[in-house]
Chains A and B, each alone.
Chain A
């Protein structure tokens, strides 16, 4: 019995962010 590998796709998080 063939089991098909189903994988969750990755998430794409784009960020932008300390300073005297």
Chain B
């Protein structure tokens, strides 16, 4: 396009918000830390943005690019991108003063050398105790610390909430420790309700520093397992596990199930984030879904619907070739779990629950069934609300015309 059509003044410097740059070889991640908006640019593009941020006018930056790289650059497209990303500042808009990050010192303490030593002692103790006393070994039957099934459900759910919050807090603290902001929301994955910590600022720190914040959640889960195992061992009655000990081991088993759940990577769990970080991907899940959609459209002879693989990030495109099939396999596992075990179990359970409302069931049985139903309906209500919220958010999501997303 001709710059005379531009909506930007070519001869006045632009005001940009404060930007951070992470050089990763051929690519540079550039972004605003205060609002966590980041983009990936080729080296020459990032050099151009640095010139604009340093006060060059668009015309001067264009001339600089031609001299440096021997060809003319579409400077207006770059400016449109910067605007879409929120990097441009209106002349009268004050520069954002970054607020200091809370909990940064606590993050440093939780992952300090002294803390690691303490964690090592706890893990060592738990492992030795379990080897010496096999009744501490995790087993599904440990879930049944009482004969009242609804009580099991209520207690494990009530305990899971603080434990899941600690899992998320460890992600957040490991992020804060290295200056990355975080927000906590409720989300969903397939049919699971999840808590979700956003650490978008991780893309602007060197890759090897991202691993601790990504793994900190599962580490917190395992630390909890170790502490509860030691607690079960310390609260014995004449050598046998006490009620407290049995309760601890029930919580341990439920916590280990949550760690196993993280390996269902196709639900975009912590393990998925780990895999995609190791592979250097940008948005592997979306790219893999687009690759699957492309195969589907090809089969149906609808070339007009194909997504252009040239617009995908090279690392995503390469990994999507095999990862897309893993998503199909994963969803198949999840859906068949529901069909072949979830539904039969739910049928049995509900038949039992409604049985308690008919005939001459005892008060305890009725109460048991009412609590069970309330828990179930609560979960369904939250799930429904999440679906509505996500739809509304998707409609409000901003579309990019210049930035590739």
Contact A12 to B257, CB < 8 A, known contacts A2-B69, A7-B313, A19-B153: no
B44: chain A residues at CB < 8 Å are 4
A16 CB to nearest chain B CB (Å): 4
Please tell me if B109 contacts chain A, counting CB pairs below 8 Å: no
Chain A residues with CB under 8 Å of B45's CB are 4-6
Q: Determine the residue in chain A with the shortest Cβ distance to B40.
A: A7
Chain A residues in 8 Å Cβ range of B322: none
Q: Determine the distance from Cα of A15 to Cα of B196 in the docked complex, in whole angstroms.
A: 4
**Alpha-carbon gap, A11 to B72, bound state (A):** 32
From known contacts A3-B77, A8-B403, infer whether A15 and B39 are also in contact, taking CB-CB under 8 Å: no
Q: Residue on A with the closest CB to B38? A: A9
A residues adjacent to B (C-beta < 8 A): 1-20
Residues on B facing A (Cβ under 8 Å):
29, 31, 38-42, 44-45, 48, 65, 69, 71-74, 77-78, 81, 85, 143-144, 149, 152-153, 156, 164, 167-168, 171, 187, 189, 191-200, 202-204, 210, 213-214, 217, 221, 254, 257-258, 261-262, 268-270, 273, 276, 281-283, 313, 400, 402-405
Q: Establish whether residues A6 and B39, one from each chain, have CB atoms under 8 Å apart when the complex forms.
A: yes
Interface CB pairs A-B, < 8 A, 29: A1-B73, A2-B65, A2-B72, A3-B77, A6-B85, A8-B40, A8-B403, A9-B38, A10-B276, A10-B283, A11-B198, A11-B283, A12-B200, A12-B203, A12-B214, A12-B273, A13-B196, A14-B168, A14-B197, A15-B187, A15-B268, A15-B270, A16-B167, A16-B258, A16-B262, A17-B194, A17-B261, A19-B254, A20-B149
Contact assessment for A2 and B171 in the assembled complex, using a CB-CB cutoff below 8 Å: no
Q: In the complex, what residues of B have CB within 8 A of residue A3's CB?
A: 74, 77
**Complex Cα–Cα for A6 and B40 (A):** 6
In the complex, are the beta carbons of A8 and B39 less than 8 A apart?
yes
Query: B42: which A residues are within 8 A, CB to CB?
Result: 4-5
Complex: A13 Cα to B39 Cα, angstroms: 17
Residues of A within 8 A of B199 (CB): 12-14
Check A9 against B77 for contact (C-beta < 8 Å).
Answer: no
State how many angstroms separate the Cβ of A14 from the closest Cβ of chain B.
Answer: 5
Known: A4-B42, A15-B269, A16-B194. 12 other contacts (CB 8 A): A5-B41, A5-B45, A6-B40, A8-B404, A8-B405, A9-B31, A10-B276, A11-B198, A13-B199, A14-B270, A17-B258, A20-B143
Do A18 and B192 contact each other (CB < 8 Å), given the known contacts A2-B73, A12-B198?
yes
Contacts of A7 in B (CB 8 A): 39-41, 282, 313, 403-405
- In the bound complex, CA of A15 to CA of B218 (Å): 10
Alpha-carbon distance between A2 and B283 when the two chains are bound, in angstroms: 25
